[in-house]
Amino acid sequence: MSFVEQRVIGAIIAGIVVAIAFPIGALIATRIPYSASKRAFFAAFGAGIFFSAIMLLIQQTLTLGNVYDLVLGFGLGAVTFGLAEHLIKHGGVADSNGRKKNREGSEGKLAIIGTILDSVPETLFVGILIALREPGLLAVIIVLFLGNLATTLEGAKIMHYQGIGERKILRDWAADFIIVAVAAPIGYFLAGFALQDILAIVLGFASGTLIVFIAGELIARAYRESTGHLEDFSISLGFLVGVIMLFVI
């Protein structure tokens, strides 16, 4: 087996590991009961983890490109997620009185859309790291897995409580898994011919979607379902774990 083939296989495995958090989290959410306070904990922990991921994404964006790439990618990511959020929350069909009805399970769908919009560029980044032989690959994979798992445990459980069937929940998150998993080998090949500015914009896009997803969905839900002050600790813990994994170990 050639060196290139080994790298490609490594990228495929890395993508699978990052994305496998989605079906695992969905299975746990549909099969194991846990309280609203635990959902809040998972959402807050995921927010903290993803805050640390934003730090790394912005650092790498500025390393590969410049501040203009950061502004462009970040802005596109924030606007894209904002538009997706608006369409899901306010794009329901009209009822018999002509009034708009929100689509069923909009919060759970936002979790799915959010993870796709930010996880695909992040997983592209994993493939780019492999192609460029950058250090810290294992830490990035673990952090992204933990963030995706925490987010899925919260989002899939909301879908379950909203009466969405187990089969549909598992199917939706399985589709998320496939979309995200294939991004790592794509990132590997993308690094071979794409301009560094393009790669920087992709990473900036991920950080832009993440910040809106964290603020508008994860943190908002964590404190809305809060039964105490555990969320403060959970966000801090997630952030600290992520920072230590990405920048210390």
- Identify the domain containing residue 87 by its residue range: 3-248
Query: Which tokens is 24 given?
Result: 């695992």
Indicate the average pLDDT of the chain.
Answer: 88
- CA–CA separation, 102 and 100 (whole Å): 7
Q: What is the pLDDT of residue 97?
A: 47
Q: At what angle do helices 183-193 and 3-19 cross, to 10 degrees?
A: 140
Q: How many domains are there within the chain? A: 1
Answer yes or no: pTM beyond 0.95.
no
Burial of residue 37 (CB within 10 Å: 0-12, 13-18, 19+) is middle
Q: Which amino acid is residue 194, in one-letter code?
A: A
For the stretch 116-175, pLDDT in tens is: 887 898 899 999 999 988 888 999 999 999 999 999 998 899 888 888 899 999 999 999
Tokens 């560029």 locate to: 121
Angle at 5 between CA 4 and CA 6, to 5 degrees: 90
Q: Report the residue count for the chain.
A: 249
> For the residues 177-192, what does the mean pLDDT come to?
93
- CA–CA separation, 89 and 120 (whole Å): 22
Q: What is the pLDDT of residue 94?
A: 43
